Amino acid sequence: MSKLYRLLTEEDSSAFCHKVSEALAKGWELHGSPAYAFDPSTNKMRCAQAVTKDVAADYSPDMKLGQQ
């Protein structure tokens, strides 16, 4: 059994909410509070949310976390 970790990021838009909602629908759980920061290179706000998931497999760096 392994606990997997992902940090989901996106511009502050509905796309971010959909990305987090999709992860939750696939069994990922929220980990901590979301973060919100200004990206001066794009002149836009960005959001981040950590998620974790317990899986019945040994961790490997080759895992495709988005497919778990």
32-58, pLDDT tens digit by residue? Answer: 999 999 999 999 999 999 999 999 988
Query: What pLDDT, on a 0 to 100 scale, did the predictor assign at position 67?
Result: 80
Query: 65 lies in a domain?
Result: no
Query: 66 lies in a domain?
Result: no
Average pLDDT (20-42) is 97
Question: Which residues form the domain of 33?
Answer: 2-55
Query: 62 lies in a domain?
Result: no
Query: 19 lies in a domain?
Result: yes
State the CB neighbour count (10 A cutoff) for residue 10.
16
DSSP label at 33?
Answer: E
Sequence-ordered list of residues with C-beta below 8 angstroms from that of 13, at least 6 positions apart, any chain: none
Query: 15 lies in a domain?
Result: yes
Predicted model pTM:
0.88
CB 52 within 8 A of CB 3: yes
Query: 68 lies in a domain?
Result: no
Query: 60 lies in a domain?
Result: no
Q: Which two tokens stand for residue 40?
A: 């001066």
- Split into its structural domains, the chain has a count of 1
